Structure 1
Amino acid sequence: MYLVLIAWIYVALMMAIAEATSPVGTLLGAVVTFLLYGLLPMGVVGYIMGAPSRRRAIKAKEAAERAQSIAAVGTQTTVENENSVAPNTHSEASSRSVAAVRKEP
């Protein structure tokens, strides 16, 4: 990937040097040539070629955050389970029943 970028920048630099040393060329023309034929296109190509690695880095970061949040929730539920009362699985009424509230007509 980087070999293509380096080679193109080299070619653009040679074009800029040829522009600057030409009898009808100018230094401003050489700078514009290097920017428009070298840095700008290679910046776009480098950004596009780097997209898969950025995507992998984002997914790895999200996976690490997800694992960290799962670990935090797991320790939190363990603490909650130690403090909670087991549910009533028998057919008897619970001692903690909640009375129904009726609306008056």
Structure 2
Amino acid sequence: MYLVVIGWLYVVLMMSVAEASNTTGTVLGAIVTFFLYGLMPVTLVVYLMRTPQRRKARKAQEAEEDRARLAEKSEPSAPAPSDEPDAGGHAAGAAKADGIAPVREEPR
């Protein structure tokens, strides 16, 4: 596949050189020719041709992550410290000195 890409870019480069060296041609025309006939189509074709490879690599990476996650779950480990301030089932205000939880006023 890459041999065809290199060959096409060579042909387009020669078309651009011919355009730039022609008496009625311009360097701007050569640059436009190179981009519109060469780089843009080749980039699109290579991207589309590599789609199955990218999909296969992504699925392999996801499978590896799943295996790592399952291995992590199956190994017994010490419980991680909680970042939550209160993991208990008691009301937050019940720990005050007077033992009365604050009451929220209803909006008017």
TM-score past 0.5 threshold: yes
Percent identity among equivalent residues?
51
Q: Which amino acid aligns with 1:8?
A: W
- Which residue in the other structure is 1:99 paired with? none
Cα distance in 2 for residues equivalent to 1:16 and 1:2 = 21
Higher share in helix: 1
Q: Which amino acid aligns with 1:38?
A: G
* TM superposition shift of 1:73: 1.1
CA RMSD of aligned residues (A): 1.7
User: 1:18-33 to 2 correspondence within 5 Å?
Assistant: 18-33=18-33
User: 1:34-73 to 2 correspondence within 5 Å?
Assistant: 34-73=34-73
Q: How many residues align?
A: 79
- Kindly provide the CA deviation profile for residues 8-29 of structure 1, in whole angstroms up to 9, marking residues without a partner as x: 1111101000000111000000
Moved over 2 A (4+): none
Q: TM-score, normalised by structure 1?
A: 0.71
Q: TM-score, normalised by structure 2?
A: 0.69
Q: Which amino acid aligns with 1:73?
A: K
Q: Which amino acid aligns with 1:58?
A: R
Unaligned runs of 5+ in 1: 80-105
- Which residue in the other structure is 1:82 paired with? none
Which is bigger in relative contact order (C-alpha 8 A, separation at least 6)? 1
Unaligned runs of 5+ in 2: 79-108
Q: Which amino acid aligns with 1:68?
A: A
